[in-house]
Chains A and B, each alone.
Chain A
């Protein structure tokens, strides 16, 4: 009989067990991303409607566009005043976090510039303000000149984080999607191999006249399914919490594709490990030591730029990096350009195939 029908039978079995344990299964798919998003989703994103004051001496279409851009993310709440003195007194009173001065000739001069005064006594608000302003400045090819207010406590932070123009939480959610997809594979794929071995089910399947590979495929599909479930649970939580997908519904489909690839390749890894291990403890230990560094190297939780310099090159060799980058770009910038899509997909597919072959070789040699 064909390997396909045996795979379907064994996958049906996994689904029946999943259905029996629907409550803990769903809880597991939800709790993990929920914790991550609650704990990490708010990093750098607590303040909304940070008050800033704009003094527009230019009053051209260009400067209006610049102001619209500052307002667009919803992170800043803008007040316009007519002269700089008035604005600076607001800053001194603490009723505004930053003052942006747009001098005349902003839009026609080749080296346009703005002046920014930031009160950094409220560091979270200050960093939001500076990153949004910084991003807008970068977009307009303009130059930001840090202003100086008499007295201490005023500096300018000019290091806009990734995607600050949009919503910082989307950045975190994108990484968490991939992270929970991998852990879904580790739990769904690998652990069931071990528990089946412990219960003797593995032996029971091996004494039936089936191809061993159908057993492997059913486990890989189950792991992949868990990955996609967990990732979409995470996405749903993330969207409720305030993340957004730049490219809308089409983005959802593209994300599904990359989650599928990441889940599939990680299920292969998980099962490759589980085939050779006898105890759940060893497996959990190895799985943790593998996935945690991999997700950090992929920039799933924090940008790769904040890793130590000597570790950064490693991220290029980490297949997860491509999944994280793809999902993140889809959420923050819109659908991937065709070339990027093909390259990211190809890397993940090749990696999956290598892991699949390795897994199959180990599975063939497995006794019980």
Chain B
């Protein structure tokens, strides 16, 4: 579906994308993650044919995006980061103008618009101006707008940024439905790791212009060697005492603002029981206890977080790259 080979993009001395190779298969939901300035947007702009790579190639459905970007674009539906619906056009007009720009035949377009408005749950608002819509409605309209020409690939740049949890869930459901019913390949970037975890079949993590990890969410968790996480929260003053109890159990605890956290390798449930008993014996009052599998959050921090923190000096270059969005 999408083939990226040795993609490089340089801005003067600065290398924004440094040799990315990636293949996305039909019907996949693929998530592209990375901190700000990692080269995500630059990669995406090259995938969309909006920017010419310094070297390397991008093929979408077998079409070389450098040689024939317009042919490639016919197969792509794009939802950009900034919600782009035209506030001064009605929902219907929004879809109709884009359908015509994608050269959808007129008789087909009318049916298509009805269907898409239904899909986005906006049928009742067909004749309302998009400017009057809530954030979630706009996002849903924009998402179905990207489907007006029946693309094989749907491309979403941070599809749920700025949405409340209800609307986010609605957009997720919509995307799953599109993926399942129409077998549309979805490529999305996101800053919500939870979203990537829940939605994506595979995830690629980009940092410093390089693809540093690629795999299913489960694979990534495994690779980073993180185990079950135990957290115990209590009053600030008591945290040191709790950490002592952790250490006696042979764990390597870290004290956060209001909790003590540690990764447990063997028998996490048994360890937890013993830990609670040990802490209770010190007469410290526990506020809450929790245990969870490592999330993509933990993976992401482990893979990129330390590096970002180490290289404070490189921040000078980062806003520049963000500006090129």
Contact = CB atoms under 8 A, between A and B. Distances in A.
Nearest to B74: A209
Interface residues of B, number: 28
A16 B51 CA distance: 31
Contacts of A205: 101
A311 B86 CA distance: 46
Contacts of B76: 207
A203 interface: yes
A65 interface: no
A200 B88 contact: no
A204 interface: yes
B100 interface: yes
B171 interface: no
B222 to A, nearest CB: 37
B84 interface: yes
Contact of B103 (A10, A204, A207, A209): A209
B101 A199 contact: no
Nearest to A368: B50
Contacts of B70: 209-211
A20 to B, nearest CB: 4
Given A10-B101, A210-B101, A203 B80 contact: yes
Given A206-B50, A207-B50, A208-B73, A13 B97 contact: yes
Interface string A181-211: 0000000000000000001110111111111
Contact of B73 (A9, A16, A17, A207): A207
B84 A17 contact: no
A63 to B, nearest CB: 66
B102 A209 contact: yes
B145 to A, nearest CB: 9
Contacts of B86: 13, 17, 199, 201
A348 B210 CA distance: 54
Contacts of A20: 88-89, 129
Nearest to B72: A209
Contacts of B78: 204, 207
B314 to A, nearest CB: 25
Interface string B21-53: 000000000000000000000000100111100
A21 B69 CA distance: 35
A16 B93 contact: yes
Contacts of B89: 13, 16-17, 20
**Chain A's interface: helix, strand, loop or mixed, by majority?**
helix
Contacts of B81: 200
B82 interface: yes
A210 B71 CA distance: 10
B88 A17 contact: yes
B80 A9 contact: no
Nearest to A208: B101
B129 A200 contact: no
A229 to B, nearest CB: 18
Interface string B171-212: 000000000000000000000000000000000000000000
A253 B165 CA distance: 60
A200 B51 contact: no
A199 B84 contact: yes
Contacts of A200: 80-84
Interface in A198-237: 199-201, 203-211
A367 B50 contact: yes
Contacts of B50: 203, 206-207, 367-368
Contacts of A329: none
Interface in A105-126: none
A147 to B, nearest CB: 66
Nearest to A203: B80
A211 B69 CA distance: 11
Contacts of A1: 103
Contact of A9 (B45, B48, B51, B101): B101
Contacts of A10: 97, 101
Nearest to A1: B103
A207 B155 CA distance: 11
Contacts of A83: none
Given A1-B103, A9-B100, A10-B101, A209 B84 contact: no
A12 interface: yes
Contacts of A5: 100, 103
B98 interface: yes
A344 interface: no
Nearest to B100: A9
B88 A21 contact: yes
Nearest to B81: A200
Nearest to B86: A201
B97 A12 contact: yes
Interface in A277-298: none
Nearest to A205: B101
Contacts of B80: 200, 203-204, 207
B138 to A, nearest CB: 12
A203 B51 CA distance: 12
Contacts of A16: 88-89, 93, 97
Contacts of B74: 209
A289 B50 CA distance: 33
Nearest to B324: A367
- Give 5 nearest A-B pairs by CB, closest first: A200-B82, A209-B70, A209-B73, A9-B100, A208-B101
